Chain A
Amino acid sequence: AQTVTQSQPEMSVQEAETVTLSCTYDTSESDYYLFWYKQPPSRQMILVIRQEAYKQQNATENRFSVNFQKAAKSFSLKISDSQLGDAAMYFCAYRWDSNYQLIWGAGTKLIIKP
């Protein structure tokens, strides 16, 4: 069965510094997608970044980038130049290509220290 694990329940970082959130997953599929979603205190779930498994190049969206290690089944999120607005719960999610359901990790709470 596919699973997603986020081993860090909480992380903190100083404003303007860089932080990396970890995610590992387990699957026997070869074609799949990985996502990082952000849930701020408003609880609105927002897509941060996505990665297609067939792409070797790591996805990047402005200050957000991923380190995708397919063989290790690892998908970490790096946030550069952390801002106060980045404070939120961050969820890692997985979807395999032939199915539209998402499998979710338990989330990491990110605290930004001013």
Chain B
Amino acid sequence: DGGITQSPKYLFRKEGQNVTLSCEQNLNHDAMYWYRQDPGQGLRLIYYSQIVNDFQKGDIAEGYSVSREKKESFPLTVTSAQKNPTAFYLCASSTLTSGRNNEQFFGPGTRLTVL
């Protein structure tokens, strides 16, 4: 079955540590996205990528970094510079065709907790 996988489901980090969240898709989508979700708020875009080896900052990129070495993979690193990283992180992907068929598909998410 085609879809998006995220790992791990739960992640605990000590203050000062960098951690990397995995996102893989087998939908052959060109675009991939990382969102952060906090209670009572909508999703906020961290980074997105429309092509391998290229990515753009979203609204809240500070303290995060990404890479896009393969079309299928878009890992997110939460660095020690991110002051409040405890949140739920969602990865999504979509095609880049114009029109209605480029909805975003989502992975199951990773819950990151800073100890």
Q: Point out the residue from A44, A46, A97 that lies within 8 Å of B98, measured CB to CB.
A: A97
Give the size of the chain B interface in residues (CB under 8 angstroms): 25
Q: Point out the residue from A43, A91, A102 that lies within 8 Å of B108, measured CB to CB.
A: A43
* Given A47-B103, A50-B100; A105-B42 close (CB under 8 Å): yes
Does A56 belong to the interface (CB within 8 Å)?
A: no
Give the size of the chain A interface in residues (CB under 8 angstroms): 22
SS of A interface (majority): loop
Q: Point out the residue from B43, B50, B100, B103 that lies within 8 Å of A91, measured CB to CB.
A: B43
Q: Point out the residue from A33, A44, A46 that lies within 8 Å of B100, measured CB to CB.
A: A33
Are B58 and A45 neighbours in the complex by a CB distance under 8 Å? no
A residues 74-105 near B (Cβ < 8 Å) are: 91, 93, 97, 100-102, 104-105
The 0/1 profile, CB within 8 Å of A marked 1, for residues 50-92 of chain B is 1000000010000000000000000000000000000010101
Residues of A within 8 A of B (CB): 4, 9, 33, 35, 42-47, 50, 52, 91, 93, 97, 100-102, 104-107
Residues of B within 8 A of A (CB): 31, 33, 40-45, 48, 50, 58, 88, 90, 92, 94, 96, 98, 100, 102-106, 108-109
Query: A47-B103, A100-B96 are known contacts; what are 20 more A-B pairs with Cβ within 8 Å?
Result: A43-B88, A43-B108, A43-B109, A44-B106, A44-B108, A45-B92, A46-B106, A50-B103, A91-B43, A93-B42, A97-B98, A100-B48, A100-B94, A102-B43, A104-B42, A104-B44, A106-B40, A106-B41, A106-B42, A107-B41
